[in-house]
Structure 1
Amino acid sequence: MFQKILIANRGEIAVRVIKTARQMGIATVAVYSDADRDARHVRMADQAVHIGPSAASESYLNGDRIIAAAQETGAEAIHPGYGFLSENPDFVEKVEAAGLVFIGPSSQAIRAMGLKDAAKRLMEKAGVPVVPGYHGDTQALVALASKANEIGYPVLIKARAGGGGKGMRLVADPDAFPDALAAAQREAKAAFGDERVLVEKYIETPRHIEVQVFGDKHGNAVHLFERDCSAQRRHQKVIEEAPAPGMDALTREAMTDAAVKAAKAISYSGAGTIEFIVDASEGLRPDRFWFMEMNTRLQVEHPVTEMITGIDLVEWQLRVAAGEPLPRTQDEIAAHGHAVEARLYAEDATRDFLPATGTLHHLKFPEHVDGARLRVDAGVSEGDAITPFYDPMIAKLIVHAPTREEALEGLTNALERTEVAGSTVNLGFLTRLLRDDDFAAGRLETGLIARKQEALTTVAPLRDRHLAVAVAATSGTATGADASDPFSAISGYGHFGPLVHRRTLVDGEDAVEARVTAQGDGALSIRLGDDEAARPIIVRRDDPTRIARWPGHVTVFEGADALTLKVPDRLQAADESAGGDRLSAPMPGLVKVVRAAVNDTVKKGQPLLVLEAMKMEHTITAPHDGVVAEIATEGAQVNDGAMLVRFQDAD
């Protein structure tokens, strides 16, 4: 077994690998960019090596620098995690040429499955069912559009390299095909360095079910059952579970047999996932699933498999890479209970899941849930920052219980007790999805979230009581009150009656005015607004409402939703004026395409430019009719809140 390994990744997966390596007595080396200098994985590892600037292309994708770091520190092997270099066969060959071990499959296996078109041709030869589509080399618009017509609309344009929904477009109308193809190719080029795509028939009631496979260097291959990953937004997974709801014995046998057959066809070694698209229009059936692709690495959702099998997949990776045979045969692998995983992201679900950034000034996870087992895989700690350079996932919460119903209830409970302040997160969206009638009943398909997006992302306004609690929590800030006991700082004494303290908080663009009076029993009487007759809200010391104070803000938690208000500095004059009629960048990113020019007359909803952030494209449209007075330059890198477009009156 290895004495020391280097982890060529960051965040949650780097932390995950470090934990297993430590349990096995293996020393670890972390690598980090400028943005990750103080990251959690850096703090946890036995050693850490700086590998470059914040941009992934100059750090985590710099294979030569990573290999040099392994050699400098005496590491014997490199674990790639997922993403970045994990499925790069050239990197694998460089690692092996340097005399190191790559903890993953061979470069030949990665190449065989790395391009979706070639992989599907290989699977057809191996007898694995493949979805109808065009997987050839021709990339001309006329040829691809013709193939789409032959396949029949709707079709799915997919990048032939990579995954994660990048470079993917659903096209229902032939007239929309040219623009969709161009956008998919641009996104694929930016994400994977390869703009080539394939075209497939779109299954209209699809489920995404994948099978965890594992092979060793001795010719053995097994499966560790299936996972359902149908709950997706923008083709990216949100909630995963194992086993798949509604899975019967015959369909499971057919699907897992096909997965093992696929792994053996390329002499696969290590952890891998065979992904299938399933027609769920008539339930799960042995003849209604087709191979989509193989991920030749560990998956983000691997914990649900670990929870139902009791197997540490990272430990298996290390043992197989060291030349050991698989620790168990197929007959020795069993599944027990049900596991569900939710991905906690820094993103704004109310704004079409735009990625968010910010410092995690307050981060708290529950320690347990009743009647179930809770696991939290986090790549960050309180005080860490979510930057625009990498995926905005904060953590994964996984719950295992005897039944699916108990697992869903346990996960919902865990999410409602999770607290995050400092960045917008998707906690409320996740809980609404878990409680959705179709999801709870196991009526899953990949379009579920898109169909119900408005209901799933609508946040009920918090009640006046929550505003009053926020006011109470900030009432003593002028005298330096402890945030955990705001009552200790406010005085109630006055010569002719209790003193009334005025307080102003800011909710978005709206000012929240309040008058606060201390009562004799230590409670606070709070009136919102200027109505003297308004009934006061009494907030006591033992009020159960959860709050978090952080610089310039207060956050009030209600279930999985949160209300954050700004706390104006009384000693600093604030200029709240906003000049001009403008569109601002919703996040840091690159202005990829500009579709309007100065003096253009535009209509409401008209696309004006395309902003690339987190390797995804976001189209910025006109909020109203108008004339463009100023617009960002194509190729410009902009910060969150930077002006993208300024309008002038049409006349």
Structure 2
Amino acid sequence: MVVNGQKPDIRTIVVSGNSLTNDAADQYESMEQFIHSHVADIEKRRPIKRLLVATNGIAAMRCLMTAKKFLHHTFRNDNLIHFVCMTTEDEIQSMSESLRMPNITLAESPSGTNKNNFANVDEILKHAIKYEVDAVWAGWGHASENPDLPRRLNDHNIAFIGPPASAMFSLGDKIASTIIAQTVGVPTVAWSGSGITMESIERSRGDFVVVPEDLLEQACVANYKEGLEALKTHNIGFPLMIKASEGGGGKGIRKCTKVEDFKSMFEEVAQEVQGSPIFLMKCVDGARHIEVQLLADRYENVISVYTRDCSIQRRCQKIIEEAPAIIASSHIRKSMQEDAVRLAKYVGYESAGTVEYLYLPASEGQEEHYYFLELNPRLQVEHPTTEMVSNISIPAIQLQIAMGLPLHKIKDIRKLYDLPIDGDSELPDEVLVDTKLHAIAARITCENPDDSFRPSTGKVYEINFPSSQDAWAYFSVGRGSSVHQFADSQFGHIFTRGTSRTEAMNTMCSTLKHMTIRSSFPTQVNYLVDLMHDADFINNAFNTQWLDKRIAMKIKQKCSLSMSVIIAVSAAVIGSSRVTGVFESFEESIDRGQVRPPNDLTETFIFDLVKDLNIYSLKVVRSAENTFVIILNGSKVTVGVKELQNGEFMVTHCEIVYRCAFEETKEAYKVTVNNEIITFEKDNDVSVLKSPYTGKLLQWKKEDGDWLNVGDVYATAESMKMVFQVEVAKAPGSYSSAPHTVKPCLATAMTWVETNLRSYVQPNSSMDEQYTQIEQYYETQFVDDLVIAINEDRKRYEQQLNTFMNKISSKRR
């Protein structure tokens, strides 16, 4: 993590483990000495001196940070474990932060989708054997939930830092885990496997729990016809969720609200996660997403560490997390935690895991209650939220569990229960429910919240995070890094805490406002600030559908700049960049001995900036050194521009200074003004359909000649491990597949509308007045004019077609 351009002294931030506090704990000279002191069972002693980090992004960064921190505190030597990091050429070229860590070995795998690398068990095993590692850490995502990985590693006597294959299979499969939950009496929602239970609820120590194949098949639906039958049999009803058991991260899941959409959505899920069993589950409207953090050792001891509320989601992916889940009463949270522990013990779980529930708050005539959702047999992305209120380090605990330490010998756990640090007593039979602290986490992603959280790739110029005792963050990228198309869209995670939810929330808002992220892609930082000022969020009155509804309502992040400032500043930056380019090109020609006419050294530029279907025709003139005159519709404004050594611009407009950056692509101008990225299109041809996603086209959804309205889906695409519906963004029209355009009548109609707009704007008005006039036109007259123009064009096309058909008919006669 880069903070103010330097690695921070993490030891001053007591947020990710009690091991950061300055206690009088023993220092050990070797790994063998440490394990001999803490592990009585000789067969379970397992020194780990070489570790393969089989993941990337923030997961890899988290593993390296916490493991090295644990080593430094315990042995005063953070090189006692040698780390071998899996990577790809994409990761190397993107300059991932984890690859900048000192004293690591790189194990390179093929680039491309994660099937070629981090999710490929053969690749992981190959590296583990080649580099003779003692253990493998897979983090989250990729192969972290594939039971083949721990099974095959075990065959080669290599430890997997996570649960055994048996528990992973039993609980990692969403269908099997729900059947197990029903078997041990954990409440479940109506689904296609309702009522199915195993015969025995007893398990001997060391035995595996396997859900019989016939029970798994009973709970699944093979096709949409079976699905429709299951709806009736189990009284599931609409709305419902169609889920692929091997899906995740928003992939292989659809919310279906009516029977007419069931067939197409079922087939989409089947296509996204091919070969995965599919099940149906009633969608519980108005529910919260609450989860329980579990820790289990190799001696079948299991504890729960508080709860988390992860209800702020979009596309079934979490954005904001909190701990503990104070929306639920203490006795309900205690019951959730007890059920989670009972479930984990039943299958012989080990390491870190999370049980997720749907929770319905109390309402008129109905008490609060909860339903089992799933158990994630891995470390969750949001685990530091729990660390913030418990002062433990979960990845470090995972590492010690894999070495054979029982929970009661791990110092962080002993401190959690307020036991003597170096004691040997067993843990008390106590459920940790309430805490004096509250934590909030916010995920930072390369997504555009003004465009339905569309992910983007691009470069990172600067990340500056103001860390403190109660606010910290880590990032997978830093200055000079980039986010490539096969990476996860999340590149950072921020955590704050306080003695109350309000205090933690205020700290988070302040932190988000004061952090700096300069990149070529948009982030949702400003959107998160707006969201936390929403009354529903402040009052803790939201649910899992709340953010998706907010997005559907087109609630965009507030821009702190007026459009007049944006246009003036952006035009000046583009003009300055053009002047620099012209003079550099001229100098290069002279150096090559070429003679060019002096009029090539122009300092006047005319160009259009297109934003939200508005066209701003600008003339930019350099009037003096570092000074530009911006002319729009006869109005003028003077702007000062200084180009800095790092390629940025310092722009002065109306005595206010703005820090800017500029990037030009084939299709757009991207101007960063302070922390806001403004994108202007170069091409305003509304007849061309363009996907905003970088990635793989999955399916065309329309036929030639179909009429498309704004918002209609015409294709599906996969980008950055997520599947998106590609919608018509600008204007309606008739679909043509080669090339993929709306027919030319629409372009003609738009030209007609633009002519109307010019007559609507008063040329002698000031620039601000003209912006107001343009906004009024688009709010009041634009749609009506466009519909009239399109209908007129369609009439003309129909007349031409009728005339043509009549000629053919007369010739046939």
TM-score by length of 1: 0.84
Deviation at 1:90, TM superposition (A): 0.8
Unaligned runs of 5+ in 2: 1-46, 72-77, 194-218, 419-431, 582-601, 641-650, 746-793, 798-813
Matched-pair contact (CA < 8 Å) for 1:506–1:565: no
Contact conserved, 2:571 with 2:630, CA < 8 A, in 1?
Answer: no
**Aligned twin of 1:233:** 314
Deviations for 1:235-254, whole angstroms, at most 9, x for unmatched residues? 11011111123332212211
- 3-state DSSP of counterpart to 1:75: coil
Corresponding residue for 1:89? 147
Looking at CA atoms only, which structure, 1 or 2, has the larger radius of gyration? Answer: 2
Give the match's secondary structure for 1:293: strand
Amino acid at match of 2:347: I
Is 1:57 the equivalent of 2:111? no
Q: How does 1:361-376 map to 2 (within 5 A)?
A: 362-368=461-467, 373-376=470-473
Task: Identify the residue that residue 151 of structure 1 maps to in structure 2.
Answer: 236
Residue 506 to residue 385, structure 1, CA distance change in 2 (3 Å): farther
The question of 1:337 aligning with 2:431 is answered no
Shift of 1:108: 0.5
Q: How does 1:134-533 map to 2 (within 5 A)?
A: 134-135=192-193, 136-149=219-232, 150-189=235-274, 194-280=275-361, 282=363, 288-326=369-407, 327=410, 328=413, 331-332=417-418, 335-360=435-460, 362-368=461-467, 373-417=470-514, 418-453=516-551, 454=553, 456-460=555-559, 462-463=561-562, 464-470=564-570, 477=577, 507-508=609-610, 510-514=616-620, 529=632, 531=634
Note the C-alpha offset of 1:32: 0.8
Quick one: distance in 1 between partners of 2:497 and 2:442?
Answer: 12
Gaps of 5+ in 1: 482-499, 567-575, 632-642
Does the aligned pair in 1 maintain the 2:572–2:639 contact within 8 Å?
Answer: no
Structure 2 residue identity aligned to 1:123: A
Distance 2:571 2:158 in 1: 59
- How many Å apart are 1:479 and its aligned residue? 7.5
Say how many residue pairs are matched: 601
- The equivalent of 1:640 in structure 2 is none
SS of 1:581's equivalent in the other structure is: coil
Would you say 1:9 and 2:55 are equivalent positions?
yes
| Aligned residue type for 1:450 | D
- Would the alpha carbon gap of residues 344 and 284 (structure 1) be closer, same or farther in structure 2, given more than 3 Å must change? farther
1:495 counterpart residue number = none
1:382 maps to amino acid: R
Q: Which residue does the alignment assign to 2:719? A: 613
Cα deviations across residues 621-650 of structure 1 (Å, max 9, x unaligned)? Answer: 45655444434xxxxxxxxxxx75464556
Question: Is this contact kept in 1: 2:57–2:96, CA < 8 A?
Answer: yes
Cα deviation for residue 233 of structure 1 reads 0.6
* Residue 325 of structure 1, CA deviation: 0.9
2:65 counterpart residue number: 19
In 1, Cα distance between the equivalents of 2:605 and 2:687? 31
Please say if residues 272 and 294 of structure 1, whose CA atoms lie closer than 8 Å, have aligned partners that are also in contact. Answer: yes
Q: What is the percentage of aligned positions where both structures have the same residue?
A: 24
Tell whether 2:101 aligns with 1:44: yes
| Separation in structure 1 between the aligned mates of residue 686 and residue 572 of structure 2, nearest angstrom | 36
- How far does residue 116 in structure 1 lie from its aligned partner after superposition? 1.4
Alpha-carbon distance in structure 1 between the residues aligned to 2:338 and 2:83: 36
Secondary structure, aligned partner of 2:61:
helix
Q: Distance in 1 between matches of 2:679 and 2:734?
A: 35
Q: Is the 8 A contact 2:736 2:742 kept in 1?
A: yes
SS at match of 2:251: coil
Of structures 1 and 2, the one with the larger relative CO (CA 8 A, separation 6+) is 2
| Contact 1:103–1:318 (CA under 8 A) maintained in structure 2 | yes
Q: Distance in 2 between matches of 1:22 and 1:280?
A: 42
Residue 546 of structure 2 aligns to which amino acid in structure 1? L
* Cα displacement string for residues 128-154 of structure 1 (whole angstroms, at most 9, x for unaligned residues): 111221131342322211222322222
In 1: Cα distance, 2:446 partner to 2:707 partner? 32
Shift of 1:268: 0.9
Aligned residue type for 2:441: E
RMSD: 3.1
Counterpart in 2 of 1:547?
Answer: 660
Q: Is the 8 A contact 1:347 1:426 kept in 2?
A: yes
Shift of 1:47: 0.8
**As a proportion of its length, which structure holds more helix?**
2
| C-alpha contact 2:192 2:221 (8 A) present in aligned 1 | no
- Contact 1:93-1:107 within 8 A present in 2 as well: yes
Question: CA separation in 2, counterparts of 1:295 and 1:386?
Answer: 27
Determine helix, strand or coil for the equivalent of 1:113.
Answer: helix
Match of 2:273, SS state, is helix
Contact 1:338–1:403 (Cα < 8 Å) also in 2: yes
CA distance in structure 2 between the aligned counterparts of 1:88 and 1:561, rounded to whole angstroms: 40
TM-superposed deviation, 1:290: 0.9
Q: Distance in 2 between matches of 1:276 and 1:388?
A: 32
Give 1:601 deviation, angstroms: 3.6
* Distance in 1 (alpha carbons) for counterparts of 2:400 and 2:107: 25
Query: Secondary structure of 1:70's partner?
Result: helix
How far is the alpha carbon of 1:19 from its aligned partner? Answer: 1.1
Question: Which stretch has the larger CA shift, 78-87 or 548-557?
Answer: 548-557
Supply the distance in 2 between the matched residues of 1:260 and 1:419 (Cα, whole angstroms): 41
From the superposition, tell whether residues 252 and 473 of structure 1 become closer, same or farther in structure 2 (CA, over 3 Å).
Answer: same
CA distance in 1, matches of 2:536, 2:405: 44
Conserved 8 A contact 1:187-1:616: no
In the alignment, what sits opposite 2:707?
A: 602
The answer for the alignment partner of 1:124 in structure 2 is: 182
Question: 1:435-491 CA deviation, whole Å, 9 max, x = no partner?
Answer: 11101111120111122223542544732345444556667557869xxxxxxxxxx
User: In 2, distance between residues paired with 1:455 and 1:603?
Assistant: 20
Pairwise CA distance, 1:554: 6.7
Structure 2 CA distance for partners of 1:471 and 1:93, relative to 1, 3 Å: same
Measured after TM superposition, the shift of residue 173 of structure 1 is 1.5
Q: Distance in 1 between matches of 2:715 and 2:192?
A: 31
Aligned to 2:55, the other structure's residue is in SS state coil
Q: Does the 8 A contact of 2:159 with 2:402 survive in 1?
A: yes
CA distance in 2, matches of 1:131, 1:209: 15
Partner amino acid for 2:499? P
Cα separation, 2, equivalents of 1:580 and 1:205? 39
Summarize the Cα distance change of 1:511–1:15 in structure 2 as closer, same or farther, 3 Å threshold.
Answer: farther
> Higher mean Cα deviation, 123-132 or 265-274?
123-132
